[in-house]
Amino acid sequence: MRIGVLGSGDVGGTIARKLHALGHDVMLGSPHAKDKGDEFAGIKLGTAPEAAAHGEWIVNAMHGEVVLDTLKDCPVDGKILVDIGNLQSSIEGPLETPLGQLIQKAHPKARVVKTLNSISAHLMVDPGQLAAPISVFIASDDEAAKSEVTALLRQFGWQDIVDLGDLSACRGMENIAAAWVPINSALGTTNFSFALIRK
């Protein structure tokens, strides 16, 4: 499958390399992508609009504050758009409208699926690295798109995938991401995550 990954930082790079390893035709879209060519062997590099045009699916791995402005120039209608981003403002203060819902409102024809936004990059693509099972949350207004992304998460190695329903769940999901930051600071490591324990 052709997948465009928007953002070439730690998260975007990790996701792009994993998708490439799984056999997908990946293009990484970022103003800085071509400066990092040595890091992305076998992965196409271009701008965000080029990567979005390349992809049958699109992954948003950009900083939350630049997402809406960048997506204005990207062809996303009809495509699954996996949002793994967070707004910095939601981490530092009250969350007004979650990023996932902002993207869906701005692009009503995109098939937005929110997931992986409260997990360290290395664990996103290999959750079995920790000593105990961890959970990943997923939400979308499009049930078929959510089902397809769930299948991809299973390819990443996820076993406990918790369906939180429609994109109204983004508020809770992005608040979990806000909790990740002080935990990371207190522990001094990114080798942790969340598990949903139920009877």
In a domain, 197, yes or no: no
AA identity, residue 91: I
In a domain, 192, yes or no: no
Domains contained in the chain, number: 1
The rounded distance, in Å, linking the Cα atoms of 141 and 163 is 12
Helices of type H across 59-169: 64-71, 88-92, 99-106, 121-124, 143-156
The rounded distance, in Å, linking the Cα atoms of 44 and 109 is 26
pLDDT digits (tens, 9 = 90+) for 159-196: 999 999 999 999 999 999 999 999 999 999 999 999 99
pLDDT digits (tens, 9 = 90+) for 55-112: 999 999 998 889 999 999 999 999 999 999 998 776 666 778 999 999 999 999 999 9
The chain-wide mean pLDDT, for the chain, equals 94
Q: 82: closest CA among 105, 43, 106, 55?
A: 55
In a domain, 18, yes or no: yes
Residue 163, domain extent: 2-187
CATH of residue 87's domain is 3.40.50.720
Q: How far is CA 191 from CA 123, 131, 134, 159, 184, in A?
A: 8, 10, 11, 18, 9
In a domain, 40, yes or no: yes
pTM above 0.85, yes or no: yes
In a domain, 194, yes or no: no
Residues in the chain: 199
Tell me the angle at which helices 170-187 and 99-106 cross, rounded to the nearest 10 degrees.
140
In a domain, 193, yes or no: no
In a domain, 199, yes or no: no
